[in-house]
Amino acid sequence: MFSFECWELCKLIPKSREFDAWVRQLIRSSSSVGANYRAACRAKSDKDFINKLKILEEELDESMFWLEMFQKTEINEKNNLNVLLK
């Protein structure tokens, strides 16, 4: 599960002022991906389903942004971010 793998990654990132905001943002956006997928599966109509998938897509894109930010740091050398980015 994508959100759990992001959470596992965040546990490995050193606790520091520099990374704190990024870690929080990644945890929020990646967990929102799963929550919005679950909500989409319970959509009341086709329109509702599509709307929930659009929200899911935005949250996934934000998660990818934070993963790409981590990829540009020394964190990438210690963790396999490429798996999550795929």
Give domain status of residue 83, yes or no: no
Give domain status of residue 78, yes or no: no
Give domain status of residue 36, yes or no: yes
What's the rounded Cα separation, in Å, for the pair 41 and 53?
Answer: 9
Give domain status of residue 53, yes or no: yes
Give domain status of residue 7, yes or no: yes
Residue-number span of the structural domain to which 17 is assigned: 2-72
Give domain status of residue 48, yes or no: yes
> Over its length of 86 residues, how does the chain's per-residue pLDDT go in tens digits?
889 999 999 998 889 998 999 999 999 999 999 999 999 999 999 999 999 999 999 999 999 999 999 988 877 655 667 778 77
The alpha-carbon radius of gyration of the chain (Å, integer) is 14
In this structure, is the dihedral angle defined by the CA atoms of residues 86, 50, 56 and 1, taken in order, positive or negative?
negative
Give domain status of residue 86, yes or no: no
Give domain status of residue 22, yes or no: yes
Number of domains in the chain: 1
